[in-house]
Structure 1
Amino acid sequence: MPGKRLVILGGGGFRVPLVYGALLSGDSPISEVVLHDVDGSRLTAIGRVLRDQAGGTGGAPAVEATTDLTEALTGADFVFSAIRVHGLEGRVIDERVALGEGVLGQETVGAGGIAYGLRTVPVARAIARRISLVAPDAWVINFTNPAGLVTEAMAEFLGDRVIGICDSPSALARRVVRALGLTRATATVEYAGLNHLGWLTAVREGKRDLLPQLLASPALESFEEGRLFGASRLRSLGAVPNEYLHYYYDNEAVVRASLAAGETRGEFLLRQQRDCYKTLTTTEGDAYEAWDAVRRQRDATYMAMEGLGERDDAEGGGYEDVALALMLAIAQDARQELILNVRNRGTLTDLDDDAVVEVPCVVDGSGARPLPSGGLPSHGVELVRRIKATDRAVLTAAETESRVLAVRAMAAHPLVDSVPVARRLIAAYQEKLPELRYLS
């Protein structure tokens, strides 16, 4: 099979070495990686990490770097989108403005996610339009957050050639299957929802659903989500939620913990990465080892800012393995089942066909198609509908450049749920984020 060209948008990002590490495996279809970023200094730093990471590995994908988007996209077979409009500084603003109003400060959920979406959607649409013109046959793998919302925005120009990924559902499925003493090779999971808003609803071995067995077992709190939500709640739900449901189910406690914390997650990452990039550009030595030490600290402190403490079972990124599996399935036309963000196509009957949903899919050379689904758990239907309506309001506000519609989108979110608060949030975000001044 001829080697494929992978373009990474946001190629100067901190997590790019995770993707490159996955490509160093013997199964990778990629022979050439092009890093694209608007920040040339970050490209230089990450390029140095990748060179040291590859070391003497035979057949390591060649690496190029450019700040020219058209140059990067020309000849692309796969495009991996992992951009962050306004960088981590924007994430800090997302968090702090929200907390200033006493609502959740999180980058993809609630007020922060809406601000992030409003400034990212115009950029994502422009990128999708460019890809459709320069590399119309490329498959686009979107990891840019809010992933479901951004994937839906890009689908306007790319249709089913854009597929959203997230590591959370796959990691959840892996942990639940392991708690049952099974493997992913022998077990089939059912999962339904939106990105950062979904539930694992069944684990099947043959025709038997073994999830009720786990829900009744002491092993229920042996894995991360079991401890996070507690056995009693999981039994009442009859499903295992994605970890991001914590922000909805325990919102008041999370906000209190965030307000009491010395710094937000974004502030921690901004401080950490500034130091890391400075080290990578000014210090001799193995750049990959320096990067990896920072990466391990980052993984260990995930969700700690919300009062959950350090994770004792952090599994690293995970999304890079999903991306590699997706590229392999398409490039080799080899059937694979993955949980992905794709257009609904009637899979979840509570949402319209064009809504991007997060569900198990079958992937092969023709792309990703959602598998038949048992649907959303009844207790999650109204929340999913409301969040999808909020996403659609964000898309409409961005397309029409309407500040009024942006306020409506903010007020519609259940973790804001107030027009006066929404007006103040949008005003504060517009003051601090120049990318939102297009709203009028």
Structure 2
Amino acid sequence: MKLTVVGGGSTYTPELVDGFARLRDTLPITELVLVDPAADRLELVGGLARRIFARQGHPGTVTVTGDLAAGAAGADAVLLQLRVGGQAARQRDETWPLECGCVGQETTGAGGLAKALRTVPVVLDIAERVRRAAPDAWIIDFTNPVGIVTRALLGAGHRAVGLCNVAIGFQRKFAALLGTDPAEVHLDHVGLNHLTWERAVRLGGPDGPDVLPRLLAEHGGAIAADLRLPRPLLDRLGVVPSYYLRYFYAHDEVVAEQRTGPSRAEEVARMERELLAMYGDPALDEKPELLARRGGAFYSEAAVGLAAALLGGGGPRVQVVNTYNRGTLPFLPDDAVIETQAAVDGSGAVPLAVPALEPLYAGLVARVTAYEELALDAALRGGRDRVFRALLAHPLVGQYAYAETLTDLLLAHNREHLAWA
């Protein structure tokens, strides 16, 4: 089995490689190819990947290349983990929206739109080249904004499923709080990528008893602290929102923090420098502890499970993924991309039925879905007016004066990445 990682020079990659090595019985990779145009980073990451495989006795080979066609040729699955513009673009995404008093964040709001505009054309170009090199390969997208990027891939006819680590992170946390095996924890996880809620936590499977009330009663303070939201809010909602909901539920508080403290991009850039220095140490043969603070925890386990199900290993699997709505949320178009539990096998991902989404959540999901449709249109066709319309539709922007100013700022900071600008 050949698996290719595009963006293989990412500091995330050793997390992925560690999972491939530990879970080789689930996903028996014989060849892992890391593809990245940044040759210096790729050599560092590739060297560590080989040492991780060797330490854990994995028989597969690890190769690195800057040639996408060669790297993808004959692949069974291709994972995409790109950051177009690098950390410098992320830093800008997190700062210029603050000029209008709007949240600066790399996957939502104005910054998220900028990332989508930069990313979608690049991903679609990569996917077309992958299709020529490996026509039957599955594309697993971890590239943000995952919902918009996955919708672009599916709309272009690619065999693609989107993946995020938020759900598996909650699953692992809740399992630890409950003192049980993560495999016993089933989440009623529903919404859009980076806009989801855990409405139930069931033990033993999707029909098991709901222990979310117990979790909130016994551990609500710790859960709220992790989300940086007030405990009374969780008690009133009776659900656990994704930590990305803080940008909506505590918008002004977040903006005030962002205006005074270092950006997440600055913190990540510093960690990346430290990680790359570590990766260059020939004695290092495991993922360093610092990587857990970089983000992407449990990404490898989610990716292994998804790839194994798509490639026919171990039969069908129920997993939280990003895929077409297909009537699951009846107030959304069928071709909207939602994030929810799905049955995954060699034919793809089919969302499981979910209880009706309450108006408090459905209203926000509908608005952000409308924004994502407009954002994708802007990414595919360009044009200042399309950018403006997407910003006007976003709940974190919404006012025409802000949308006008943010459109100008977005274009000024991203012109080098936008062929039409």
Q: Which has the higher contact order (CA 8 A, sep 6+)?
A: 2
Q: Name the residue aligned to 2:242.
A: 242
User: How many residues are treated as equivalent by the alignment?
Assistant: 415
The answer for the alignment partner of 2:288 in structure 1 is: 292
Q: Does 1:318 align with 2:318?
A: no
| CA separation of 1:333 and 1:435: change in aligned 2, threshold 3 A | farther
Structure 1 residue 373 and structure 2 residue 374: aligned? no
Instruction: Please name the residue that 1:20 is paired with.
Output: 17
In the other structure, the counterpart of 1:361 is: 342
Q: CA deviation at 1:184?
A: 3.9
* Distance across 1 between alignment mates of 2:163 and 2:225: 20
> Shift of residue 274 of structure 1?
3.3
1:334 to 315, 319, 324: 315
Greater alpha carbon shift after TM alignment, 272-281 vs 249-258: 272-281
**Alignment match of 1:195 (pick from 184, 193, 196):** 193
* Separation in 1, partners of 2:266, 2:112: 16
Which residue of 2 is the match for residue 211 of structure 1? 212
User: 1:90-101 alignment to 2 at 5 Å?
Assistant: 90-101=89-100
Matched, 1:426 2:407: yes
Distance 1:193 1:113, change over 3 A: same
1:5 aligns with 2:2: yes
CA contact (8 A) 1:7 1:35 kept: yes
* 1:272 aligned residue: 271
Spell out, residue by residue over 1:199-255, the C-alpha distance to the aligned partner (whole angstroms, 9 max, x if none).
11122344543333444x233224366763333212221211111111110111111
1:416 aligns with: 397
1:29 corresponding residue in structure 2: 28
CA spacing shift, 1:49–1:187, aligned 2, 3 Å = closer
Give the superposition deviation at 1:407: 1.4
Equivalent residues of 2:194, 2:242 under 8 A apart: yes
Q: Is the 8 A contact 1:9 1:79 kept in 2?
A: yes
Q: Give me the whole-angstrom Cα distance separating, in 1, the residues matched to 2:122 and 2:102.
A: 26
Any idea what SS the aligned residue of 1:30 has?
coil
Q: Where does the alignment leave 5 or more consecutive residues of structure 2 unmatched?
A: none
Say which SS state the counterpart of residue 116 (structure 1) adopts. helix
Q: Which residue of 1 aligns with 2:142?
A: 143
> How far apart are residue 175 of structure 1 and its match?
2.6
State the TM-score, normalized to the length of structure 2. Answer: 0.92
Q: Distance in 2 between matches of 1:207 and 1:296?
A: 31
Q: Deviations over 1:61-97 (max 9, x none)?
A: 2111111111111101010000110111110111121
Alignment partners' CA distance in 1, 2:330 and 2:339 = 13
- Whole-Å separation in 1 of the counterparts to 2:142 and 2:218: 35
Equivalent position of 1:302 in the other structure: none
Q: Which residue of 2 aligns with 1:169?
A: 167
Residue 296 (structure 1) shift: 4.5
Q: Is the 8 A contact 2:169 2:297 kept in 1?
A: no
- The aligned amino acid for 2:349 is A
The percent of aligned pairs where both chains have the same amino acid is 35
Please state how far the C-alpha of 1:191 moved relative to its aligned partner: 1.4
> So what's the TM-score if we normalise by structure 1?
0.88
Q: Which amino acid aligns with 1:14?
A: T
Distance in 1, matches of 2:52 and 2:194, equals 31
Q: Distance in 1 between matches of 2:54 and 2:171?
A: 34
Q: In structure 2, how many angstroms separate the alpha carbons of the residues matched to 1:326 and 1:404?
A: 38
Q: Please list every run of 5 or more consecutive structure 1 residues that lacks an aligned counterpart in the other structure.
A: 300-315
The alpha-carbon deviation at position 422 of structure 1 amounts to: 2.3
SS at structure 1 position matched to 2:62: strand
Mapped partners of 2:18, 2:113: distance in 1: 32
State the shift of 1:435 in Å: 4.0
Q: After superposition, what is the alpha-carbon deviation per residue over 1:125-166, rounded to whole angstroms, capped at 9, x for unaligned?
A: 21222223322211111000001111111112244x211111
Q: Pick closer, same or farther for the CA change 1:214–1:270 going to 2, 3 Å.
A: closer
Q: Distance in 2 between matches of 1:226 and 1:431?
A: 35
- 1:8-49 deviation per Cα after TM superposition (whole angstroms, max 9, x unaligned): 010100010111111112323211111111211111111122
Look up the match of 2:67: 68
